[in-house]
Structure 1
Amino acid sequence: MAEDWVDLLDTARLTAVVDIGANPIDGDPPYGPMLREGLCTVVGFEPQPEALAELHAAAGPNERYLPHAVGDGGEHELKVTWMGGMTSLLEPDVERLSTLNEFARYGDVLQRSTIGTTRLDDIDDLGPLDLLKIDVQGSELTIFRNGRDTLAGAVAVHTEMSFTPLYRDQPLFGEVDAELRAQGFVLHTFAALKKWPIAPGVFDGNIFTTHQQHIEADVAYVKDFARLEELDADQVKHLALLAHHVYGSHDLAVRCLAHLVEAGVVDAQVLPAYGAAVGRSVTTNGVRSDR
């Protein structure tokens, strides 16, 4: 039986995921398939006690969850909102939210409390980091700026980004994009796009139909694949694994595998093995690997 392409990579450790804002209210995380297959470890951060308790109750052997609020290292006011997914260190922008059906209610602040934050670069026991998944309702840019040393070793960032400000002084797509590009990442794919109906229109009695306003997206950034030679072999291996298992990006995975083969790090059989795994023929530089 042909050896599996993952075995041929022969990684020294499991792919390491760090999840900031791991609240399970958002459903299955993008790395869920890797976690279920035992291909990654997860260190998650969730400051809300109830959400943290849920994470602990469901945690498997490769998961570890911590109560830290990651930020700039200072103290901030946490705004707990009617819709739990909008709880944030930023103040909901009521005027802006009122332009979208139902959003003003979602952003209604029910409770305020002061919490301390920890810089990503100051977390000593974080361990390795290959993929950073982050969903912190407007504080993403602050965390990226205070985690530059840690993110230098990462190969992918999965972040929520906003096109419309839902909070006061919220950094939008352009600012966050510029920071990640400055750190050596490039935009790879939009994993999800969220559109919402503009208020006050209601069509056929349904406030959620007939909408075109893009408000947010889950966006995947990866280290610049035009410069794979600047990464070490393990980073390229983990980028290939993430490209395949998290994003279904067979083209990016093959680019990583071809680079590893050319560098003499991985046996050339990894390419036909990958083709067999995805049920497709793979061609690189004119060399065909049939399924």
Structure 2
Amino acid sequence: MEPADRLPPFIELAGASVPHKIIDIGARHISGEPVYAPLLRGGEATIVGFEPDEAAVEELNARKNPGDVYLPHAVGDGGRHTLHICAARDMTSLLKPNPAAMELFHGFPVWSEVVATQEIDTVRLDDVAETEGATFLELDVQGAELMILQNAVERLRRASVLHIEVEFLPLYEGQPLFSEIELFLRSQGYVLHRFTPLMSRVLKPLMLGNNVFAGMSQIVWSDAIFVRDFMRLDLLADDELIGVAQIAHDCYRSADLALRLLTEHDRRSGRNLARAYMFGLRHRAPREAAE
């Protein structure tokens, strides 16, 4: 599959777009640009980012775009928690690493070693005024996903697309896994759209090519994409139909979902966004994207 940036932007194909407010929890992206970067290039998206590391927040605010805001808060249930700071910064979590799971894989015991702990206060998303009206939520919080979502019910009512790192093995003690997150989000009107990608690691003692990052058969984690239930499009407003279609196209190359949403929008409004979008896919996109 070609990357999403090989397709023309949604607005060029459909001739429509809506503004987006993005909540990014774990806003310090260690490598690469965020998945929502195509929305930012369109100029109609703003970010509300969260990072408990104040130095990281200062850096993010120093290079932010107009309208963006980065807050030095840990997001959770509004209570006080212990932050477990790991040797590999991207494994730091409100939960304690689970040695029984970490020992299964090469490298994980070293990366997950707790080098310090810190007592921190957390905030609930529903209590942070800046997050009101958000349409897109990205979570990369190493085990605290369900806690955050359960304390963001009001924000979930307005959001349309969720991009959440999930685990299939309990890398942290007491960690809710993908199945529990999916059940909760289903109760909030979301369905799983796709994984991007499914990540595996080689179980010890086997090692492939002396590469601790090699994958094989055991799925460990993934980024799961949830969208508002497209079997109940009657629950989505016209602007939400366009918004989800735009995210599906620009961020995930999900042309089938985008077209379905635009078709419903046109049925209500009498416009021809779906026809324009399909024409653009056939005549301006790489052949495999339009088929």
* TM-score, structure 1 normalization: 0.89
Name which of 152, 161, 172 aligns with 1:156: 161
In structure 2, distance between residues paired with 1:193 and 1:26: 18
Matched ranges for 1:195-206 at <5 A: 195-206=200-211
In structure 2, distance between residues paired with 1:17 and 1:145: 18
Matched ranges for 1:273-288 at <5 A: 273-279=276-282
CA displacement 1:102-150 (0-9 Å, x = unmatched): 1000101111111100111111232311111111100000011111111
Are residue 70 (structure 1) and residue 75 (structure 2) matched? yes
Describe the shift of the 1:260–1:203 C-alpha distance in structure 2 as closer, same or farther (beyond 3 A).
closer
Bigger relative contact order, structure 1 or 2 (CA pairs below 8 A, ≥6 apart):
2
Are residue 267 (structure 1) and residue 271 (structure 2) matched? yes
Partner of 1:279, secondary structure, is helix
Moved more, 226-235 or 77-86: 226-235
Are residue 227 (structure 1) and residue 232 (structure 2) matched? yes
Partner of 1:177, secondary structure, is helix
- Equivalent residue number for residue 137 of structure 1: 142
- Identity among equivalent positions (%) equals 38
Are residue 213 (structure 1) and residue 218 (structure 2) matched? yes
Question: What is the aligned-residue RMSD (CA, Å)?
Answer: 2.1
Shift of 1:28: 1.4
Describe the shift of the 1:210–1:92 C-alpha distance in structure 2 as closer, same or farther (beyond 3 A).
closer
Name which of 79, 84, 93 aligns with 2:84: 79
In structure 1, distance between residues paired with 2:215 and 2:83: 34
Match for 1:52: what amino acid?
A: V
In structure 2, distance between residues paired with 1:197 and 1:41: 39
Where do 5+ consecutive residues of structure 1 fail to align? 282-289
- Equivalent residue number for residue 240 of structure 1: 245
2:259, 2:278 within 8 Å by CA — same for their partners in 1?
no
Moved more, 24-33 or 56-65: 56-65
Moved more, 127-136 or 205-214: 205-214
CA displacement 1:30-78 (0-9 Å, x = unmatched): 1011112313111111112233233223312242211111100100011
Matched ranges for 1:1-291 at <5 A: 4-7=12-15, 9=16, 11=18, 14-209=19-214, 211-264=216-269, 267-268=271-272, 270-279=273-282
Aligned residues: 276
Shift of 1:5: 4.5
Partner of 1:35, secondary structure, is helix
